[in-house]
Every structure is written in structure tokens, then in C-alpha cells.
Amino acid sequence: MGDYLRLLTVNDRDIPMASLQRAVPDVAIWSVDQPGTLGNYLAIGPELNDLRSVWATIERNPVGPNTLGAEEVAEFIDSLESGGPPSAIRWLGDYLETIRAIYAIRIYPEAILDHPEAEDAVFVVRSALRDNVGGIGQWDGQGFTNEDDRLIWCDPQMTLKGRKEAALLDESTGLWIPLELNLEDSDELAQFLRGELPRRHQRHSRF
């Protein structure tokens, strides 16, 4: 996984930390002061207040005029033309303009290596965030997901691996067409980036 997983949401309400703690009762989640900045961030790890073995941190960045969050959104919008499909570029361009908050989950790979349960715990916390505020995902090294958490945009210059639940937007209906995408199949990925349903899916769909 990449070093950052982000949740971008149009919902700017606060999430009670107890909601996240209930999602992973056997994992420690706690608030940590962040020197030099206002507010704090959350840490996830095996032991409460043990900053030496933190698996991940969660930082909430509001999106508004002259904020770090607004700068991030602008960078995401600028990056869209480097990937595809075209329908996702258009959809994301509109959606990103409405974002009110970004939850940035930073992964510490070296800490996770010694704890096989850590990766699952981080994903469960991310799911709890989505359950509370909804939104779309941005994954370093992968791309963007839609509100159903399916991959809808990627950059062909990224190192893409494995099979992913993905979706193509049918702009005539506004509906997402679900599919499984083999990121390591160059022909299939090229079709997806052009906005075409991969051939092995075409016989099952009228899209």
C-alpha cells in the first residue's frame, strides 16, 4: 500500500473518536498533540501512547479558503489529466470542488511489517471513517475511488498491481458500471483508461 490513504468528503462534521475505537477494540487509537500546529492528530498502534511503534496516523484537514486542504484539492484536480478514464476526470473535477474535509491516513510500513494484524486494523479504521462521513478515496500509488469505494481513476505511470473492484461511469445515465479490473493486464488497463469496458466484461453487459 502507499504511504497515504485519503478520504475526501463533502461532510465537514466531526467524528467522535469513540466511533473509531469501537471499530477496532483490540487496537489502540489515541489523540496526539502536533507541535507547531493547531489541533491534533490520531495515532493507531498496538499500545496506547506508544509513539515508537505507531502503525498509522490520521490527520483531518478542513477545506476552505487559504487552507492546506484547499491546496491539496487543487493539486488533485491538476493531476487528473495525467490519467483516466475521461468520464472519471470530468466527474472528479466536479466532485472535488465540493470537498469540505480531507482525512489523511499516513502509513508507517516499517512498523506494520512486524504486526500482520496492523494493515487490517488500518483498513477497518478507514471503513469506520467512511461510515461516518462518506466520501471518495485517494490512494497513493493507485488512484481515486468513488463513493462505493471502487477504483474509478488511475495514472498509467503508477506502479499498479493486482485485481481491483473498479467502475466506469455511464455519463448518459449517471450510473457507475461495476467491474473487476486486472491492473497487471496492460490491454485491460488501457481499455479502462480510455473509458471502455474491458473485453472480458463486454459479453455480460450492454454498456
Checking if the pLDDT of 64 tops 70, the result is yes
The proportion of the chain whose per-residue pLDDT surpasses 90, expressed as a percent, equals 69
The proportion of the chain whose per-residue pLDDT surpasses 70, expressed as a percent, equals 92
Checking if the pLDDT of 205 tops 90, the result is no
Rounded Cα distance between 130 and 103, Å, is 10
Q: Take residue 196 and report the three cell numbers written for it.
A: 471502455
Determine the average pLDDT of the residues in 160-178.
94
Q: Take residue 20 and report the three cell numbers written for it.
A: 473509531
Average pLDDT, the chain: 89
> Confidence band (pLDDT; 50, 70, 90) for 82?
very high
Rounded Cα distance between 120 and 126, Å, is 10
Determine the pLDDT at residue 5. Answer: 93
Checking if the pLDDT of 86 tops 90, the result is yes
Amino acid making up residue 57: T
Which residue from 23, 22, 58, 53 is spatially nearest to 43, judged by alpha carbons? 58
pTM of structure = 0.89
Determine the average pLDDT of the residues in 164-185.
95
Determine the pLDDT at residue 38. Answer: 47
